[in-house]
Structure 1
Amino acid sequence: MLTGITARAGHLRKTLSRATPVPIMIRGSAFLTGVLALGVAWPAQLLVSRYFVLIALLALWPALAPAGRGGTAVALTAVGGWLLDTAGFDSRIALWRVLALAALLYLAHTLTALAAVLPIDSIVNLDVPGTWLGRAAVVILISSVLIVLALGLTADLGGSAFQLATLVGLAGATAVTILLARMAHRE
């Protein structure tokens, strides 16, 4: 057992000695956005307690092993914290928190995906993460505008018209998902 631990420590030391700045920066950014997403989602009472260390350690998982399930665990924990805060602690749902949580979860996801495809010792020009984050910023901006417009429409619609629009939207999303799955399966 001790031999296995020493072998892993030696492998980790060798990997870290070969690491280059840009992949380390991307992994650090994935960790930071994960911590911020969890901080926005979870109740403030839990964040100022000793449980924050556990939350921060969870956010470290996708930074250390980006090709694993760490990103999903962080996202699900953030959603669970959001549900706990809004349903369990009766916190008011604020638009800025919804937008911040969505943006941070998307950034954490996309940075983890970039870290997963970049080896830790790769030499990468700063244009690569710059372009990647530029695309992410466009997605976040468009999504935020659409969320605000949709919330404005819900105030205007109300009642059965809103329920009908919701059902039509869900049916459309389901149809697009099925179509994309079939197209991917054909190839």
Structure 2
Amino acid sequence: MNAVAERVRAAQAAFGRISLPPLLVRAGIFVTVLAGFALAFPAEVLTGRPLLFLTVAALLPAVGPRRIWSTFAALVTVGGWLLATDGYGRPVALWRLLALAALLYLGHTLCALAALLPYDAVVDPELIIRWLLRAAAVLLGTAVLGVLLLQVGGVGGATGHQWVTVAGLLLAVGTAALLGWLLRRK
């Protein structure tokens, strides 16, 4: 009984030390991932139990950004995109593709930031602003390059978008596997 009471007091003390900036970053992860799900999945799927599953799947990377949950959320997002375009016949729109890519990257970079910030960290707001400005610069450059490749390079059309999506998914999974292998090798 005494050990349980001591654990409860330790949990209360840890909860009392939580600061606002790390919580805001984690809330940003949740909102970004959930928005990515809403953009990727067809509207017919976003009701009832699937919506509950997607909400929990968006909460997981916010709670555990150092674990595999951010990769899981990205794979669920890409799976929703493929379901919407192949299974439900939604036409591929460039704005939706760019917005989904931006949300995937923003969720990923926010998870990286949250992984560095303990819950009780005292953070200068300028750090978060610089992090988000750097992410915005990457997103802008990627959007410009993506539009140039799709419009000028002739990669367009429904099958071109599908191949680019699948190739990007394979590249992301391969990169994650390579990084995991390199980390275990140490």
Give me the TM-score of the superposition, normalised by structure 1.
Answer: 0.77
> Aligned residue for 2:127?
128
The 2-side partners of 1:78 and 1:13 are apart by: 35
The 2-side partners of 1:157 and 1:60 are apart by: 34
| Counterpart mapping for 1:45-124 below 5 A | 45-124=44-123
> Aligned residue for 1:36?
35
The C-alpha deviation readout for 1:110-143, integer Å capped at 9, x for no partner, is 0011000111101001001100000000000000
CA contact under 8 A between 2:34 and 2:58: conserved in structure 1? yes
| Matched pairs, number | 166
The C-alpha deviation readout for 1:69-90, integer Å capped at 9, x for no partner, is 1100100000011111111111
- From the superposition, tell whether residues 73 and 11 of structure 1 become closer, same or farther in structure 2 (CA, over 3 Å): farther
The 2-side partners of 1:54 and 1:145 are apart by: 34
Unaligned stretches of 5+ residues in structure 2: 165-170
Paired letter, 1:135: R
The 2-side partners of 1:22 and 1:66 are apart by: 15
The 2-side partners of 1:39 and 1:105 are apart by: 12
> Aligned residue for 2:17?
18
CA contact under 8 A between 2:150 and 2:156: conserved in structure 1? no
The 2-side partners of 1:39 and 1:8 are apart by: 39
CA contact under 8 A between 2:149 and 2:155: conserved in structure 1? no
Higher Rg:
1
The 1-side partners of 2:42 and 2:156 are apart by: 32
The C-alpha deviation readout for 1:49-97, integer Å capped at 9, x for no partner, is 3311110111101111111111001000000111111111111101111
- From the superposition, tell whether residues 7 and 36 of structure 1 become closer, same or farther in structure 2 (CA, over 3 Å): farther
Paired letter, 1:108: G
Task: Give the Å deviation of 1:38.
Answer: 1.0
- SS of the aligned residue for 2:153 comes to helix
| Counterpart mapping for 1:125-164 below 5 A | 125-155=124-154
The 2-side partners of 1:47 and 1:86 are apart by: 15
Unaligned stretches of 5+ residues in structure 1: 167-172
- SS of the aligned residue for 2:48 comes to coil
- From the superposition, tell whether residues 88 and 141 of structure 1 become closer, same or farther in structure 2 (CA, over 3 Å): same
Task: Give the Å deviation of 1:146.
Answer: 0.7
CA RMSD of aligned residues (A): 3.3
The 1-side partners of 2:45 and 2:107 are apart by: 21
